[in-house]
Amino acid sequence: MAEVEKRRGSAPVPHEWTYAPAPESREIVSIHERYGLFVGGEWLEPTETYTTLSPASEEPLATVAQATPTEVRHAVAVAREAFADWSALPGSERAKYLFRIARILQERSREFAVLESLNGGKPIKESRDVDLPLAAAHFFYYAGWADKLEYAFPNRKPRPLGVAGQIIPWNFPLLMLAWKIAPALAAGNTVVLKPAETTPLTALLFCDVVRQAELPPGVVNIVTGDGSTGAALVDAPVDKIAFTGSTDVGKAILSRLAGSGKKLTLELGGKAANIVFDDAAIDQAVEGIVNGIYFNQGHVCCAGSRLFVQESVAEPVVDKLKRRMATLRVGDPLDKNTDVGAINSKAQLEKIEELVAAGRDEGAEIYQPPCRLPERGYWFAPTVFTKVAQSYRIAQEEIFGPVLSVLTFRTPDEAVEKANNTPYGLSAGVWTEKGSRILWMAERLRAGVVWANTYNRFDPASPFGGYKESGFGREGGLHGLAPYLDGNGGDA
């Protein structure tokens, strides 16, 4: 014992730990100066264009197409033409293409990860360790179902719908593309996909993968552009719209499609409760809280943005959380040590700033750890609000940024009531040592996904989707195939 103490005493201890820069090279990606529309396996010259940026530096990255309604209708017509042959292929043949795409994504994952971080602002360690592996896993998973549809939906003669129009947001650009394209193709549909305006580049690089996999032309078509391109896709003669994005746009699409006969699934916003009981492993819970809200700058539909802590442990939990927040490194998305990257766009930064100002005005107490933010680009420090009342905007509205609101509760009933007091219902987290309490809570929480003693865990076999204003339809698992098939006994 004495010797150990002596050794400890003489070991050189640095005054402070610092991290040397560990930048990922961007050389691995070659970004074209200009991209057209990917239709029928060819690049079509667009009539209108816009410039896509790096949100970390505001540097222009490429000129991309702003697809017009005529161009969108053309893409849908090409997808329609390709549908006959694609849907007639045996499932085992379609599976081969999907397996090929999955393997190419794995082989080229570093290239995709760098591009995702450049165009979207997320830390490279997240795009490398989360977005890319999950995107490839999704293609592998649905490749496995392509020749087993009759087993998946017995006695129902599942048939593909036709052409699916797919519209995705900017927070997980390639992963959302995988969530959309993999099940649609496995089921025998062809697709026209519109990426988000601010993050088109990995979808455009994916076109290269589609070619490399020798997917028949017209099965996957990518049309870039802003909301008007999305609206044009909704109005085009597609058989189904699969939309992931905000609740406001989801509602607009729902009313637009009423009576049209087109099928629809909506994956919308959230305001998840992350609930910590007094018997939880506190340090583990603090890691889960940090992961729940600061992962991907809080640009996560299922982010644990409302933290409910049992009153008796509220003080130690918040203290530990603040200490942990001070160790988060905010900055260059391409640095492998970065924990929190850039906010995706100027518009999103302004939305976060507005809601944070509202939190201060309404009387909540704000804490941000000291951190130096880069001068150029869009940044927001990790933030926590305490003394939050349920009526405050920061407890009601989706902020979609690195901003946490802390509330407290005394009993499990109160936790359930407060957690469910939201128009959303996408996800929730429960931290407790007791298995029985986890089940009791999971039964009562009105949320599509409930995580226990973990947060933000995804698996392609596990369905994901919402209740109430978080939308309808599920992605992932068998549930994610049903909305791409007729005769599945599934939803809308």
Which region, left, alpha or beta, applies to residue 281 given φ > 0 means left and ψ of -120 to 50 means alpha?
beta
242 three-state secondary structure: strand
Residue number, 239 or 335, with CB nearest to ligand NAP: 239
Minimum gap (Å) between residue 247 Cβ and ligand NAP: 6
Minimum gap (Å) between residue 200 Cβ and ligand NAP: 9
Minimum gap (Å) between residue 316 Cβ and ligand NAP: 31
Active-site residue identified among 301, 397, 398, 475: 301
Minimum gap (Å) between residue 101 Cβ and ligand NAP: 21
**371 noted as active-site residue:** no
Structure tokens at 121: 């602002």
CA pair distance 387, 115, nearest whole angstrom: 40
Residue number, 289 or 426, with CB nearest to ligand NAP: 426
371: amino acid identity, one letter = C
Residue number, 185 or 233, with CB nearest to ligand NAP: 233
Q: Say how many C-beta atoms besides its own lie within 10 A of residue 444's C-beta.
A: 17
DSSP string across 437-450: HHHHHHHH---SEE
Residue number, 335 or 469, with CB nearest to ligand NAP: 469
Structure tokens at 197: 């305006």
Active-site residue identified among 71, 116, 126, 267: 267
Minimum gap (Å) between residue 424 Cβ and ligand NAP: 9
435: amino acid identity, one letter = G
74 three-state secondary structure: helix
**Residue appearing with tokens 């890691």:** 287
Residue number, 192 or 231, with CB nearest to ligand NAP: 231
Main-chain dihedrals φ then ψ at residue 479, nearest 5 degrees = -55, -30
CA pair distance 240, 190, nearest whole angstrom: 11
Residue number, 46 or 471, with CB nearest to ligand NAP: 471
| H helix runs in 326-362, sequence order | 346-362
Q: Say how many C-beta atoms besides its own lie within 10 A of residue 347's C-beta.
A: 11
DSSP letter (8 states) at residue 435: H
Minimum gap (Å) between residue 398 Cβ and ligand NAP: 5
**267 noted as active-site residue:** yes
Minimum gap (Å) between residue 179 Cβ and ligand NAP: 8
Residue number, 120 or 158, with CB nearest to ligand NAP: 120
Contact 432, 412 (CB under 8 A): no
Residues near 82 by beta carbon (within 8 Å), at least 6 away in sequence: 40, 190, 216, 217, 218, 219
CA pair distance 173, 120, nearest whole angstrom: 8
Torsion over CA: 451, 452, 456, 461 (sign): negative
Residue nearest to ligand NAP (CB): 230
Residues that bind ligand NAP (CB under 6 A): 167-171, 194, 196-197, 226-227, 230-231, 234, 244-246, 249, 252-253, 267-270, 301, 398, 400, 426, 466, 471
Contact 306, 271 (CB under 8 A): yes
Contact 446, 465 (CB under 8 A): no
Q: Which residues are catalytic?
A: 267, 301
